[in-house]
Amino acid sequence: MKQVLTALLALLIFSCKEKAEKVLTAQEIVDNSIADSGGKLYGSHKTSFVFRDKTYTYGREEGKTVLRRITVLDTATITDVKLPNGFERYVNDSLVEVPDSMAVRYSNSVNSVHYFARLPYGLNDAAVNKELLGKEIIGDKEFYKVKVTFDQQGGGDDFEDTYVYWFDMESFKPEYLAYDFHVNGGGQRFRKAYNERFVNGIRFVDYENYKPKSEGTEILEIGQLFNQGELELLSKVELEDIKVEKY
């Protein structure tokens, strides 16, 4: 009888723990992720880093976010500037005219590099929609799996793209991400974060950048394709000379 009571008591405690366990929402997961990766420091610090021999800077000027990419050539220095309402290109400090089609391309390119470098911070932008898809095992570890889509209003030129993030269930840091895209023929990418480091309190990582070996794959299944060895390594995304300074 004593053994039966002990077993019943253990079952009752276990059931109570299960009921007490809080079910997190996608928003709560992202909020925790941002807090653990830098939190309020994102808004109070300017950053710069080097990526593929180009210098990228993020800052606020007159209350507006300004993203720059600086390319130093033998004969000139080209500075691309993404502003909230447009794009500018300078050659040796002189503003030059850029056709609208190229301005969009340059602006998107600058924004993309900054977006990935500052993740997960951008996941709370107003145009972002987040949906918790449950949990998924990648490698030998279980993660929260969150789908991200964008509103057309404020979602940029790539608002139709779908992103997927896999968050560590304890630290909430995003260890994997994937996305589809529709420009230049379209495709899918899967990224594995590595070389995590904190610079003045803000988290930065590098990425292994993969693509599916076969066409026509479903973006929500790409994590399992990675597990099955069905992705091929395209490149590595490595940030160098990172600087973080308070305004």
Q: Which conformational region is residue 184 in: left (phi greater than 0), alpha (psi within -120 to 50 degrees), or beta?
A: left
Percent of the chain scored above 70 by pLDDT? Answer: 87
Q: Is residue 92 part of a domain?
A: yes
pLDDT digits (tens, 9 = 90+) for 21-73: 578 999 999 999 999 999 999 999 999 999 999 999 999 998 899 999 999 99
Q: Is residue 3 part of a domain?
A: no
Nearest to 232 by CA among 194, 192, 193: 192
Nearest to 27 by CA among 120, 113, 102, 141: 120
| Beta strands 128-138; 141-150: pairing state | antiparallel
What is the DSSP code (8-state) at residue 62? Answer: T
Nearest to 132 by CA among 119, 144, 150, 149: 144
Q: How far apart are CA 155 and CA 152, in angstroms?
A: 5
pLDDT of 156: 56
What is the DSSP code (8-state) at residue 126? Answer: T
The tally of domains found in the chain comes to 1
Q: Is residue 222 part of a domain?
A: yes
Type and span of the H or E element at 222: helix 222-227
pLDDT of 167: 98
Q: Which domain holds residue 234?
A: 31-246
Q: Is residue 77 part of a domain?
A: yes
Q: Is residue 233 part of a domain?
A: yes
- Interval 162-187 mean pLDDT: 91
- Interval 153-162 mean pLDDT: 66
Q: Is residue 214 part of a domain?
A: yes
pLDDT digits (tens, 9 = 90+) for 105-147: 999 999 999 999 999 999 999 889 999 999 999 999 999 999 9
Q: How far apart are CA 119 and CA 177, in angstroms?
A: 10
pLDDT of 157: 54
pLDDT digits (tens, 9 = 90+) for 180-215: 987 767 789 999 999 999 999 999 999 999 999 998
Q: Is residue 109 part of a domain?
A: yes
Reply yes or no on whether the pLDDT at 245 is more than 70. Answer: yes
Q: How confident is the model at residue 18 (pLDDT cuts 50, 70, 90)?
A: very low
Q: Is residue 159 part of a domain?
A: yes
Type and span of the H or E element at 18: helix 2-20
Q: How far apart are CA 100 and CA 147, in angstroms?
A: 32
Q: What is the mean pLDDT of the chain?
A: 89
